[in-house]
Structure 1
Amino acid sequence: MSEQESSLPTPAVTSATPPRLPKRLIVLLLLYVAASVSGLIAKQGVLFCLLTLFMVLGILGRQKAGLIMLRGYTLVQLALVSMLPVILYDPDNLVVGPTTVHLGEWQGKFPDYVIFIVLIILSLLQVWVAFDKKVKIWFKPKLNLNIMN
């Protein structure tokens, strides 16, 4: 190689392919949509369900506000689920025995600590997805807090 060829600037390697929506984020968004739609059908927490659906739209639109909302949502949920045993413990209304869980036609009886463990594990999985590097790459780099843009 000659001296003149080595002094030429090398072209920067740019990725022409846009980032892909991570599969774990797709699963989490499907869970959010299913929970929100079921809440809307049951008329339970309608405003919260609508806000969750707007967050899903912001995430699909690659808005940075969607990432901020996703991370805040997961951290608040983790804190609330972690505090659930303390919040629900009321010695005057303490129900002794297992809790009955109804899923369609199926009924199961579980102790409260099993339900709390499952909820905490689900919250930890949501935190793992929300703070994953691949999920962060999905969003546009500029800070835009307009979720509907």
Structure 2
Amino acid sequence: MNLKEVNSVLFVCMGNICRSPSAEAVFRHKAKAQGISLNIDSAGTVGAHVREKPDHRAQKMGAERGYTFNGIKARKVTVQDFEDFDLILAMDNANLEDLQNLAPDHLQGKIMLFLDFAKNHEETEVPDPYYGGANGFRYVLDLVEDASDGLLAQMR
């Protein structure tokens, strides 16, 4: 995939209230700061939190670093998303597998793990902070910032 031709990015986790909205908020902020115009969204592989705002802990930790979650509400990923987005980034291997099972065969190449773009962390998956405390949400931001920087560098 030629990342320089990507115009739209979808971040995907399980419930779309912690990791993927954090990735959306961070990536949107960083892309805008670099003058890169993209369609950026997030979704979940399950619909348990549809129309809910991101977890208050994700919003709080993100706000501490200058990120806004305005307008972000949980939704479930759809088959149409594979047509609508150039790049679909899973937060962990379970999300990756769910996306691969949902995507039409000819669009499988759009799906990747988000942390494949991280340069300063060896983790391959963004851990789900839902059942933990504030430090888990901070760590998610550390990983998401690293992968966002790496992805944007390859898109330039």
For the aligned pair, the TM-score class normalised by the smaller chain equals under 0.3
Higher strand proportion (structure 1 or 2) = 2
Bigger helix fraction? 1
**TM-score, structure 1 length as denominator?**
0.26
TM-score, normalising length from structure 2? 0.25
Higher-Rg structure is 1
